[in-house]
Amino acid sequence: MPPYFLRGQKSGLFSFFRSLVSTQKHAMKRISLLCFLFFSITLNAQNNAKITLKQGDGIRITAADSSAHMRLRVWFQPMFMVSKPLTEDGEWTSYAGVQRARLNFTGWIHSPKLRYHLQPMMAAPELRSGLDATAQQEGYTGKVLLDAAIQWKFHPNFDLWIGQERTRGSFEGFLPGFAMQLVNKSQFNGMFNYNRDIGIQLLGSYGDKFIIRPQLRWTLGDGRNIVTNNNGGFQYMARVEVLPFGKFNEVFNTDFKREPKPKLALGAMLDFNHNAARQKGNAGRFMIDSEGNQQYSNVFTFLTDAVFKYQGFSANSAFAVRTVSDDTLGFYEAIGFHLQGGYLLENNYEFAFRYSFVDPIGRKIAPGSREYLIGVSKYINGHPLKVQSDIGLIRNTVFQRTTLQYRFQIVAGF
């Protein structure tokens, strides 16, 4: 089934070009201030700092005394999609727009042990905020800010993150939006991923040839960009990752290094959101009854996943279960599985596939889906500059409806 912002769209190519030049005005005012600040620093620092620009690596500025460093990366994804329900009265619909457009600031201040991450976004599909209870918690504003966090490496084996940042609940969920094998992430990820929240994350790493990474997180549990008081309780997450054959890039899809030896990453996560206020814990709509009262339920999620790379072949899979303490209120309970793989040819074409399912359990309120996709990508300069397309069947198992879907996108960035 198409993403929520695509449903019912019949705009075609006209909206594609229109969306390229019309992101939300409020977001652009805030983004322009960041750009002005960045380029002011650049101009004022030219005689005292080292400045480099490399396609795919961004703009880097390092103070003359190495007391500060800034890296800016910019990328965007124009996307076109057509789909058709496989029913007798099914009609073709089309959508085109900029799926993502982001600025990514990273670096350090005072010392490389004190790093920062700031990432605003500009694409309308990610910024939209409606008029429901969820939008009220977000102040009826565009959700401009993705990440704003400080990382303190206080020990050789530990990092402490404070602020709003991605929570690494799964390998696919932590995958950057520009680094995907297919045009978008899976519907499995949409159900089970715990993406961004505000709080504290303690990330550890032990070993070199055999790596163990324990991770603990304490967050507010309501998701990102919430402007009201904390609803309900807090969210607690524990995750462990094991890399038995040493370090490799398990975060990005595609085996660009064509690993000469097999590489494997295994992960397991347990999450408890105490008195969660949203349908999926820290995501989805806020659960408000007919009288306007906030509803709460404890939400438990278990997830295990793996990533494998070897000589151009890459694969990732995951299994997850989510249950709630009160199944009468409409909070989602579901079970799901995800499998994806691809092979990178010597000419930098990659062929990939995906199969995933999400099945509701309990009172079966959660949406159910099956996803069957195949795709091809041409990497011009790795993930920062590529052309991608995929085609497949998306089945809504609740309404027993199957949709044929084709997507095409360009990812461009530096």
> Between these two residues, 355 and 134, which has the higher pLDDT value?
355
Q: What is the per-residue pLDDT across 9-57, written as a single tens digit (0 to 9) for each? A: 444 433 433 443 343 444 445 555 555 555 555 445 445 678 888 877 8
Residue among 343, 324, 319 nearest 189 (CA): 319
> Between these two residues, 247 and 2, which has the higher pLDDT value?
247
**What are 156's two structure tokens?**
């050789």
Helix (H, G, I), strand (E, B) or coil at 137: helix
Q: Check residue 31 and give its pLDDT.
A: 54
Quote the pTM value: 0.85
Cβ atoms 210, 140 nearer than 8 A: no
Percent of the chain with pLDDT strictly greater than 70 = 85
Cβ atoms 208, 246 nearer than 8 A: yes
Q: Which residue in the block uniquely carries the two structure tokens 């163990």?
A: 212
Cβ atoms 332, 191 nearer than 8 A: yes
**pLDDT (average), residues 257-272:** 97
CA dist., res. 294 & res. 277, Å (int): 7
Q: Check residue 35 and give its pLDDT.
A: 55
Cβ atoms 116, 74 nearer than 8 A: no
Which helix (H) or strand (E) segment holds residue 139: the answer is none
**What are 8's two structure tokens?**
């019912």
366-369, long-range: CB < 8 A, 24+ apart: 366/191, 366/332, 366/333, 366/334, 367/1, 367/191, 367/396, 367/398, 368/334, 368/396, 368/397, 368/398, 369/1, 369/187, 369/394, 369/395, 369/396, 369/397
Centre a 10 Å sphere on the Cβ of residue 159 and count the other Cβ atoms it contains. 17
CA dist., res. 175 & res. 166, Å (int): 10
Ordered by where they begin, the domains of the chain are 13-413 (2.40.160.10)
CA dist., res. 381 & res. 412, Å (int): 9
Q: Check residue 395 and give its pLDDT.
A: 96
**pLDDT (average), residues 350-355:** 98
273-298 as b/e: b if 16+ CB within 10 A: bebbbbbbbbbbbbbeeeeeeebbbb
pLDDT higher than threshold 90 for residue 230: no
Return the HEC string of 174-189.
HCCCCCCCCCCCCHHH
CA dist., res. 142 & res. 365, Å (int): 28
Rounded (5°) CA angle 79-198-219 = 120
Which residues, including other chains, have CB under 8 Å from residue 321's CB and lie 6 or more apart?
301, 302, 303, 334, 335, 361
Which helix (H) or strand (E) segment holds residue 326: the answer is none
CA dist., res. 397 & res. 399, Å (int): 6
Residue among 271, 272, 196, 206 nearest 241 (CA): 206
In degrees rounded to 5, what are phi and psi of residue 331? -70, 145
**What are 212's two structure tokens?**
């163990």
Q: What is the per-residue pLDDT across 272-307, written as a single tens digit (0 to 9) for each? A: 999 999 999 888 888 888 888 889 999 999 999 999
Residue among 158, 89, 83, 49 nearest 408 (CA): 83
